[in-house]
């Protein structure tokens, strides 16, 4: 793959506004309605591209806080449609330990703002990615490859799935990412100065005000095995994308992801 340069840093070629991900399934495949001919053609394309580009293995353990516009259950976690008709989301990830090939990623942070006008699988999404400015050039390139679904089996992670639905990718921002998250306690905050603020807390009983705990278990999911669900709020403070939503779905999860998807315990 050829490379592009943003702010003097070479990043993966697919980070551009006319994005065509390296493994783009036909539209009917993404909607779960594929025919045998398109399935075969897609498999051939994936095999050809895999052979053409040797995949660099990556893996990391970390923690995330994700806030979207859905109510606390989030229909999307259960193959449903977004309850507002669209999906807007803000996400922050702390990588506790990890690597991309020989490049260490320990302690780095990433984040993103997403907007889809309808359900995610219907496409036409928009994204603005944030990469920890402490990352050196090699780490930045590695993180962007992971975030755009490269060096990953087709649709094996949320990064790869979301990349296949994005039409507009804004130039990634290399900046300070102030992020902390306590998955067990269902508390967290994300601050990217000049761009976005997000906070997360436990869901509370409407009568007593006591903290209420709920979890989602996805044994075959592409993001996590278990997520604690809380209440979160997000608002942008500048930049090319604007969102604001509050007291909605907050997802707190421990992550263990790699080139082949969720690393299962």
- pLDDT tens-place string over residues 129-179: 999 999 999 999 999 999 999 999 999 999 999 999 999 999 999 999 999
CA trace torsion 76, 78, 79, 81 (10° rounding)? -40
Nearest Cα neighbor of 31 from 146, 100, 122 is: 122
- Does the pLDDT of residue 50 top 90, yes or no? no
Burial (0-12, 13-18, 19+ Cβ within 10 Å), 13: middle
Q: What is the pLDDT of residue 51?
A: 42
To the nearest whole number, what is the mean pLDDT of the chain? Answer: 87
Q: How confident is the model at residue 13 (pLDDT cuts 50, 70, 90)?
A: very low
Query: Is the pLDDT score of 260 beyond 80?
Result: yes
- Start-to-end Cα distance in the chain: 34
Task: Specify the pLDDT at position 39.
Answer: 52
Q: Is residue 112 part of a domain?
A: yes
Q: Which domain holds residue 230?
A: 58-262
Indicate if the alpha-carbon torsion angle 4, 151, 257, 76 is positive or negative: positive
Residue 31 falls inside a structural domain: no
Residue 237 CB coordination number (10 Å): 13
Q: Which residues does 17 contact at the CB level (< 8 Å), separation at least 6? A: 168, 169, 170
Instruction: Determine the Cα–Cα distance for residues 56 and 69; give it in Å rounded to an integer.
Output: 34
Contact 83, 72 (CB under 8 A): no
Mean pLDDT of 40-51: 50
Query: Does residue 1 lie within any of the structural domains?
Result: no
Is 160 contained in some domain? yes
- What secondary structure does DSSP assign to the chain, as a single string? --EEEETTEEEETT-STT---TT---HHHHTT---HHHHHHHHHHHHHHHHHSPPPPEEEEEEEEEEESS-TT-GGGGT---TTSSEEEEEEEEEEEEEETTEE-TT-EEEEEEEESS-GGG--EEEEEEEETTS-HHHHHHHHHHHTTTTS-TT-SHHHHHHTTEEEEPPPEEE--EEEEETTTTEEEEEETTTEEEEEE-EE-TTT--EE-EEEE-TT-SS-SEEEEEEEEEEE-SSS---EEEEEEEEEEEEEEETTEE---
Is 5 inside a domain boundary? no
Q: Give the pLDDT confidence score for residue 86 in this predicted structure.
A: 98
- The first and second tokens of residue 64, run together, are 């995330």
pLDDT tens-digit map of 202-248: 999 999 999 999 999 999 999 999 999 999 999 999 999 999 999 99
pTM of the predicted structure, to 2 decimals: 0.83
Q: Is residue 39 part of a domain?
A: no
Instruction: Flag whether pLDDT at 43 surpasses 90.
Output: no
pLDDT of residue 265: 80
pLDDT of residue 76 exceeding 80, the answer is yes
What residues form DSSP beta bridges with 163? Answer: none
Q: Is 84 contained in some domain?
A: yes
Which pLDDT belongs to residue 80? 95
- The total number of structural domains in the chain stands at 1
21 in a domain, yes or no? no
Average pLDDT over residues 15-32: 40
pLDDT score for 201: 98
pLDDT tens sequence across 82-119: 999 999 999 999 999 999 999 999 999 999 999 999 99
For residue 48, is pLDDT > 50? no
**Is the per-residue pLDDT at 29 higher than 80?**
no
Q: How confident is the model at residue 54 (pLDDT cuts 50, 70, 90)?
A: confident
- Token readout for 51 is 């052979």
Judge whether 111 and 93 are in contact, CB under 8 Å.
yes
């Amino acid at each position: 793959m050829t490379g592009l340069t943003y702010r003097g840093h070479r990043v993966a070629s697919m980070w551009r506004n006319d994005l065509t991900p390296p493994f783009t399934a036909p539209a009917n495949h993404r909607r779960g309605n594929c025919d045998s001919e398109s399935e075969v053609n897609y498999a051939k394309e994936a095999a050809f591209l895999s052979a053409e580009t040797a995949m660099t293995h990556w893996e990391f353990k970390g923690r995330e806080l994700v806030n979207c516009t859905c109510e606390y259950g989030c229909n999307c976690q259960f193959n449903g449609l977004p309850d507002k008709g669209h999906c807007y989301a803000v996400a922050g990830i702390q990588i506790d330990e990890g690597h991309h090939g020989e490049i260490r990623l320990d302690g780095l942070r990433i984040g993103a703002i997403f907007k889809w006008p309808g359900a995610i699988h219907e496409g036409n999404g928009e994204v603005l990615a944030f990469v920890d400015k402490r990352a050196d050039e090699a780490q930045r390139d590695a993180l962007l490859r992971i975030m755009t679904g490269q060096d990953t089996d087709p649709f094996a992670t949320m990064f790869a799935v979301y990349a296949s639905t994005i039409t507009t990718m804004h130039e990634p921002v290399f900046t300070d990412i102030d992020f902390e998250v306590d998955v067990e306690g269902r508390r967290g905050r994300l601050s990217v100065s000049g761009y976005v603020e997000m906070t997360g807390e436990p869901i509370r009983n409407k009568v007593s005000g006591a903290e209420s705990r709920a979890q989602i278990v996805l044994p075959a999911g592409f993001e996590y095995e278990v997520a604690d669900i809380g209440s979160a709020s997000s608002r942008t403070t500048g930049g090319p994308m604007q969102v604001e939503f509050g007291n909605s779905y907050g997802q707190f999860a421990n992550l263990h992801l790699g080139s082949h998807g969720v690393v299962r315990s």
